[in-house]
Amino acid sequence: MSVVTRIAPSPTGDPHVGTAYIGLFNYVFAKKHGGKFILRIEDTDRERYNADSEMRIFKMMHWLGLNPDESPEIGGPNGPYQQSERLEIYKKHALDLVESGHLYPCFCSEERLLKLREEQKRRKQPLGYDGFCRNLSKEEAGACMAAGKEPYVLRLKAPSEGETVFRDELRGQIRFKNSDIRDGIMLKSDGYPTYHLANVIDDHLMGVTHVLRAEEWITSTPIHVLLYRAFGWDEPKFIHMPLLRNPDANKSKISKRKLDTSVDSYRDQGILPEALINFLGNMGWSMPDGREFFGLKDMIKEFSIERISLGGPVFDLKKLRFFNARYLRDILSLEDLAERVKPFLEAAGYDWDDEDYLLDILDILKSRAETLTEFVPHGAYFFHEDFSYDEQAKKKLAAGQKYLEDLEREFALLESYDEDSIDDLIHDYVQSQSVGMGKVLQPLRAALTGVSNSPSMTELISVLGKQRVLKRIGRALSYITAGLPDDKPQKPEAVKTGAVS
């Protein structure tokens, strides 16, 4: 049997990390077994529908490398892949179930339902439909329709006795008493199906063999099972993944209010898709050999659902950033890194003479950045000559005037401008002055960067090049003696972003 899985997001807002998470496992599971991965859009809630969101879901999947084999974008043999375009299919199947007595029309008004719910709450009874329309005869139903009691809905006629048992591949048998299964609405009065109906019909028609979805669906699985059986269809295998959790005390289900759940937002913050995938791959799953760094291909190679753990994993930003940092400094090639960083630098208004200069900069900056965006503040002084000096730097400059004057001369005379020569020059000079390295290098750092923390001076001097170095020392010296023409108090942020007034 060939494996078919699917991700079925609802386009109602920002592309969600939960979609990415479940999408990842569906994708990997399908590919592991040489099967197909389908992207289906569940847009049956026209109140919350958002066309922009749908586009962004497609983009997210591509960005993450979770490319579906069938989708609204690329089509496929079992389309359409947007549920809003499958209304006739649902209607036909729903009517079949009415015919066979598994679904029944319900004419109850919203007011009655509301009242019923309040009454149940007041009496502390279990909530749910009371079956008022459950046993209407055909004649009575017809009379209701004739009396203009439309629109009406179609409800599931859940068995009142016995139990519904199904198997979760990770948890084993799960049983529900049928009396606990409510007569839920399957077809809404606007002609759209609810999740349960649409999901079952589509999964069957699209040949889905394995339903990997979040644990929150376990309680509605018996409804789905009842539907499969009512249709006379084989059930797929159910695999319920643990729920991603908020990092709060209780570890509640991941939510927008407590955590940034937008994949787009992480992308904009400079998180790499590889890092996000890798991070998500470690949530509730582990490599057989304990490896923590792996890509999609590795995960496909080693994947098995037996290694899924069921405790809900907390979505920990710190660990995500750690993964991202590892990709930035150790896993991506310098050239690859450059391509990823460029859009962020360009957006900040930076430009550079040549590619090699950029590569050099990234090489010495990459162990200091956890996200792509951090290259912008960290790299500010590489791209502008008119940076300001922060308070620390100003103090260092004032204390180091003599050293700067000497070094300006020394560097001007330096013939071979490479790291070794620079290193020698500095060491010789420091020795000649009989002072600590810091006494000399801190003012120099201030002069070259405007800040008091930076990469190694030798690297910096080498990467900046002789011209810039001399120019900057000169500028610093004139600042010391005269103050810069625009020597206004600078906010630290101004330095960070590279913006100079």
Catalytically annotated residues:
256
Nearest to 85 by CA among 193, 231, 219: 193
Instruction: Give me the least distance between CB of 97 and RNA, in Å please.
Output: 16
Rounded CA separation 146/151 (Å): 11
Contact map string, positions 11 to 30, toward RNA, x by CB under 7 A? -x------------------
**Of 368-407, which residues contact RNA (CB under 7 A)?**
368
Q: Does 192 bind RNA (CB under 7 A)?
A: yes
Of 31 and 445, CB closest to RNA: 445
Of 215 and 408, CB closest to RNA: 215
Under rule CB under 7 A, how many of the chain's residues touch RNA? Answer: 87
**Greatest CA span in the chain, whole angstroms?**
108
Nearest to 51 by CA among 83, 8, 11, 10: 11
Handedness of CA 315, 319, 324, 327 (dihedral sign): negative
**Of 215-234, which residues contact RNA (CB under 7 A)?**
215-220
| 3-state secondary structure at position 166 | strand
Nearest to 205 by CA among 370, 366, 365, 76: 76
Instruction: Give me the least distance between CB of 407 and RNA, in Å please.
Output: 13
CB count within 10 Å of CB 82 equals: 16
Q: 244, 23 in Cβ contact below 8 A? A: no
CB count within 10 Å of CB 439 equals: 15
Instruction: Give me the least distance between CB of 15 and RNA, in Å please.
Output: 13
Q: Residue 320, exposed/middle/buried by CB under 10 A (0-12, 13-18, 19+)?
A: buried
Contact map string, positions 99 to 128, toward RNA, x by CB under 7 A? ---------xxx--x---x------x-xxx
Of 9 and 270, CB closest to RNA: 9
Rounded CA separation 374/7 (Å): 33
Instruction: Could you list the beta-strand ranges (E) of 266-327.
Output: none
The secondary element (H helix, E strand) that includes residue 241 is strand 237-241
Region binding RNA by CB under 7 A among candidate stretches 51-59, 134-142, 258-266, 286-294? 286-294
Q: Does 421 bind RNA (CB under 7 A)?
A: no
| 3-state secondary structure at position 452 | coil
**Of 48-77, which residues contact RNA (CB under 7 A)?**
48
**Of 422-481, which residues contact RNA (CB under 7 A)?**
436-438, 441-442, 445, 452-458
Of 277 and 482, CB closest to RNA: 277
**Of 290-329, which residues contact RNA (CB under 7 A)?**
290, 292, 306-307, 309-314, 316, 318-319, 322, 325, 329
Instruction: Give me the least distance between CB of 75 and RNA, in Å please.
Output: 21
- Which position among 67, 160, 265, 367 is part of the footprint of RNA (CB under 7 A)? 367
The secondary element (H helix, E strand) that includes residue 106 is strand 103-106
Instruction: Give me the least distance between CB of 145 and RNA, in Å please.
Output: 14
Q: Does 153 bind RNA (CB under 7 A)?
A: yes
Nearest to 22 by CA among 34, 1, 35, 38: 38
Rounded CA separation 170/87 (Å): 33
- Which position among 15, 18, 23, 242 is part of the footprint of RNA (CB under 7 A)? 242
Q: Does 42 bind RNA (CB under 7 A)?
A: yes
CA-to-CA dists, residue 453 to 82, 88, 376, 443, angstroms: 53, 66, 15, 11
Region binding RNA by CB under 7 A among candidate stretches 182-190, 267-275, 402-410, 487-495? 182-190
Of 121 and 488, CB closest to RNA: 121
Q: 338, 202 in Cβ contact below 8 A? A: no
Q: Residue 212, exposed/middle/buried by CB under 10 A (0-12, 13-18, 19+)?
A: buried
Contact map string, positions 244 to 263, toward RNA, x by CB under 7 A? -x-x--xxxx----------
Of 3 and 214, CB closest to RNA: 214
Radius of gyration of the chain (CA): 32
Of 185 and 271, CB closest to RNA: 185
| 3-state secondary structure at position 415 | coil
Contacts of 163 (CB under 8 A, 6+ apart): 175, 176, 177, 178
Instruction: Give me the least distance between CB of 253 and RNA, in Å please.
Output: 3
- Which position among 78, 82, 189, 497 is part of the footprint of RNA (CB under 7 A)? 189
- Which position among 75, 142, 151, 349 is part of the footprint of RNA (CB under 7 A)? 151
Of 2 and 219, CB closest to RNA: 219
Rounded CA separation 93/329 (Å): 55
Q: Does 203 bind RNA (CB under 7 A)?
A: no
Region binding RNA by CB under 7 A among candidate stretches 61-69, 151-159, 394-402, 465-473? 151-159
Instruction: Give me the least distance between CB of 485 and RNA, in Å please.
Output: 28
Instruction: Give me the least distance between CB of 1 and RNA, in Å please.
Output: 23
CB count within 10 Å of CB 470 equals: 16
Rounded CA separation 405/474 (Å): 8
Q: Does 8 bind RNA (CB under 7 A)?
A: yes
Instruction: Give me the least distance between CB of 129 and RNA, in Å please.
Output: 7
